[in-house]
Amino acid sequence: MKLAILGNSPLALEAALRFHLHGAALTWYQDRLDPSHFASPGLEPLAFTSDHGHGVLRELNQRYLPKSFSWGEWQETYAKPLTDYLRAQQEVKTDEVVSVAKRFLAPREVIPERSRFLDLFRIIFRVNPKDFIEQQKDSNPETYQRLTEEFISSLTSSIEMYQDYDLVLDLRGDLDRASASVTGRALGEGRRPPKVHYALEALPVAAGLAPTADERELALVGSDSLAAEILLRLSDWLRDPRSMLFIITTEEVPFQEFLRSANPVTGEKLTTLFEKLDEEYAEEIDLFTRKLREWQELDDFVQAKIPRPSEPIPRVNFFSGHNVTAIDELIDRRRLFLTLERPEFRLGKKHPQNNDLDLKTVGCDRIFVAHARKDLSLLAIDPDEPGHFESTPTRPNLARPWERDLEHLEGIEDEIFKLFSPTDSH
């Protein structure tokens, strides 16, 4: 069988190894998403490895036995040698996939008395022509010698090519950028101001952020596993007592679903962060209450000279049950404004005091958007297309991510072997 695997993740590597050992002719298209942006504390030392991988490493006279898990060590001493091993015997491409479709069949077209599986899948991908020509030096030197310098220099833009396959296994991650609005688009978002950061790109920005006069107020949109990771990266920035964070989420109790399924280490870190912030706010309320009482006990003529103590505002402010419906930017580009709305069918159980107005605007210096999704624009096929299989890798800061992924992959293997019998598999 001829198989295409889409994705750049431990799960995609595992699938490529398995189907190579099963005797499949495969092409592995590695996309640009890099799962290593997740720090993922709490992972087991041998996370994202398998008996297949360790067996191949032994054949290569190498081994991977870390004392603790780190993405850098995993990539260098486990993923890289295995990818090089596959590249020597199968096709491993870093070209951008443009589309995945059937060769001839339209969606939902029926072939009388035959399965749609009769038609092959066509993957169109974008190739840098200079890289392609350089490859000909080794694979096809005679053709390379016939290419003129003028012809080579004329290839200044990428070209599209295609290959056809019996099966497509889509293992791409769901960490590509989406919209600040869960409905798919916020007004004004198309301009994409430079201080709005989406999905994976938000993680290194959050980690490197320092509290300055220009970075006092930030907004985080979302409360899922990626939002939790972004929030933990902002821990150093939050230590400054002048820092203020707005968390906007459609979830009525923010991070409730994530904490139910988080791995213990990440869940504990996030809970501890919230507890420290709550304790800090409680201390500020106690101080405010004492000062207010003292001020109220003053004579009227003294009160007129001394301003009433200001009630403290939580440094992490939740707008729960809310949608982001617009993003605006001042002409001088120094401030960003989010328009928030809460529908009547959704409650805001965290900081309900923020629910008094149906429509509100929040000003901030920078925005992090945790909403992410798999890029579906390249798929021109139905999700249940025969021969098309999909599994989205579990995000690393959830509980048992690798075990879940392997269980799903084994289920896909069983389905594929109903269509094909492996030959010379071992």
* 248 and 212, same domain (yes or no): yes
Residues 350 and 252 grouped into a single domain: yes
Q: Are residues 279 and 404 in the same domain?
A: no
HSE-CB at 381 with a 13 A cutoff on CA atoms is: 27
Q: Are residues 123 and 206 in the same domain?
A: no
Render pLDDT for 179-190 as a digit per residue (tens, 0 to 9).
999 988 899 888
Residue 295 shares a structural domain with residue 238: yes
CA dihedral 71, 73, 74, 80 (to 10 degrees): 120
Has residue 203 been placed in a domain? yes
Q: Is residue 423 part of a domain?
A: no
- Which amino acid is present at 367? I
Mean pLDDT to the nearest integer, 245-257: 96
pLDDT at 104 over 70: yes
Judgement on whether residues 385 and 285 belong to the same structural domain of the protein? no
Q: Is residue 76 one of the residues assigned to a domain?
A: yes
In the chain, the number of structural domains is: 2
| CA 67 – CA 77 distance, rounded (Å) | 13
Task: Please report where in the chains the tokens 């809970």 appear, as a residue.
Answer: 271
CA distance 172 to 274: 32
Asked if residue 280 and residue 133 are part of one domain, the reply reads: no
57-63: which pairs have CB atoms within 8 A and are 24 or more residues apart? 57/81, 57/82, 60/85
Q: What b/e string do you get for 294-309 counting C-beta neighbours within 10 Å, with b at 16 or more?
A: eeeeeeeeeeeeeeeb
**Residue 55 is assigned to a structural domain of this protein:** yes
pTM for this entry? 0.86
First to last CA, the chain: 16
DSSP H helical ranges for 22-61: 51-59
DSSP code per residue over 105-139: PPTT---TTS-GGGSPEEEEEEE-HHHHHHHHHHH
Are residue 130 and residue 12 in the same domain, yes or no?
yes
Here the CATH number for the domain that contains residue 206 is 3.50.50.60
**Residue 154 belongs to what H/E stretch?**
helix 149-154
What is the residue range of 211's domain? 177-372
For residue range 321-353, list pLDDT tens digits in order: 999 999 998 776 678 999 999 988 998 999 988
Residue 60 is predicted with a pLDDT of 95
**236 within domain boundaries:** yes
Q: Are 240 and 163 contained in the same domain? A: no
Give the span between the Cα atoms of 59 and 103, in whole angstroms.
Answer: 39
218 sits in which H/E element:
strand 217-221
Q: Is 329 helix (H, G, I), strand (E, B) or coil?
A: strand
Q: For residue 425, tell me if it sits in a domain.
A: no
CA 413 to chain centre: 25
The answer to the question of residue 424 being in a domain is no
More confidently predicted of 300 and 85: 85
Q: Is 62 part of any domain?
A: yes
Residues 292 and 386 in one domain: no
Q: How many CB atoms lie within 10 A of CB 176?
A: 19
Q: How far apart are CA 277 and CA 314, in angstroms?
A: 8
Determine the 3-state secondary structure of 7 from DSSP.
coil
* C-beta separation of 137 from 43 below 8 A: no
199: left (phi over 0), alpha (psi -120 to 50) or beta: left
pLDDT recorded at residue 137: 67
Are both 49 and 193 inside the same structural domain? no
- Cα(340)–Cα(323) distance, integer angstroms: 6
State the pLDDT at residue 6. Answer: 97
Q: What is the pLDDT averaged over residues 240-269?
A: 95
Q: Please state the rounded mean pLDDT for residues 113-137.
A: 82
Q: Do 74 and 189 reside in the same domain of the chain? A: no
- pLDDT tens track for 33-80: 777 777 777 899 999 999 999 999 999 999 999 999 999 999 999 999
